[in-house]
Structure 1
Amino acid sequence: MALTSSMEDYLEAVLMIQQRHGYVRCVDVAEQLNVTKPSVSRAVKELSKMGFLVKKTDGTLSLTEKGFQIADQIYEKHQFFTQQLIEVGISPELAEIDACRMEHVISQESFEQLRDAYNAHKDD
């Protein structure tokens, strides 16, 4: 089963919360994504089954290596597109919303080419 945009959002949220707090609870993910705790439980179960996430005995969540790689890629795309949109005059709020959409539809290869071209041009 391929990852959906929603599943990618869950992985990205776990990464972001982990970076901020050092640990991740289901309630934190629910708050971050503005979803219900039962929704988080279903997503955690599916992502765990797919090998992206582990729910520890204390109830905290952690990304597997495979999960971290996906979450990190999504988060990098999100940060890049948010920054680019803000730089061209889009409000930070709208930039966040649009970046979240864009991060899911662009392939990793296209993103890397775009990012590298931007960075090369920026350094000129």
Structure 2
Amino acid sequence: MQQNKGRHLEKKLSPSKEEYLKAIYKLSERNQFVRSIDIAVYLGVSKPSVHNAVTALQEEGLVVKPLGGEIQITEEGRKQGKAVTAKFQIIRQFLITCCNVNDMTASADACKMEHIISDDAVFALEKYLSAKEDDDT
């Protein structure tokens, strides 16, 4: 996670859109093209919900889905998906490493927290974890 001072602020996605983007990002790491059914299964949602979310993400320029085709993440979508995923991982790691929260709870809480915590706070957590890691070695 890198701090983005001095850059224009990107339009903030809703927590729901972030979850769909994160899912598409993760699934696209395995295959270049992602099927709606794969997203539905991954998130445990209906195909109509996926359709609505993908339409909204396409309007944001984060994914491309030709009519009847498979979903492909754009470069901007990949960038934002990677950032959301990194934010989740940093928070999760902090909860496990520093707070002794079990893995399942840490994952569930990090998923909620990633949508409301500032980039500056996540950057500070990342610095803290790096310093802690250096101290432990």
Say yes or no: TM over 0.5. Answer: yes
Question: Which of 63, 74, 96 is matched with 1:64 structurally?
Answer: 74
Q: Which has the higher helix share?
A: 1
Give unpaired runs (5+ residues) of structure 1.
Answer: none
| Aligned counterpart, 1:78 | 88
Give unpaired runs (5+ residues) of structure 2.
Answer: 1-10
**What letter corresponds to residue 120 of structure 2 in structure 1?**
E
Q: Which has the higher contact order (CA 8 A, sep 6+)?
A: 2
Question: Which of 24, 42, 50 is matched with 2:52 structurally?
Answer: 42
**What letter corresponds to residue 110 of structure 1 in structure 2?**
A
Deviations 1:43-95 (A, max 9, x none): 11111011111114662212112111111111011112222223333222211
Please say if 1:25 is aligned against 2:63.
Answer: no
Please say if 1:11 is aligned against 2:21.
Answer: yes
| Aligned counterpart, 1:119 | 130
RMSD: 1.8
> Residue 114 of structure 2 aligns to a residue in which SS?
helix
| Aligned counterpart, 2:63 | 53
Q: Which runs of 4+ in 1 moved over 6 A?
A: none
Identity rate, percent: 36
| Cα drift, residue 121 of structure 1 | 3.2
Question: Higher mean Cα deviation, 89-98 or 40-49?
Answer: 89-98
**What letter corresponds to residue 114 of structure 2 in structure 1?**
E
| Aligned counterpart, 2:5 | none
**What letter corresponds to residue 27 of structure 1 in structure 2?**
I
| Aligned counterpart, 1:109 | 120
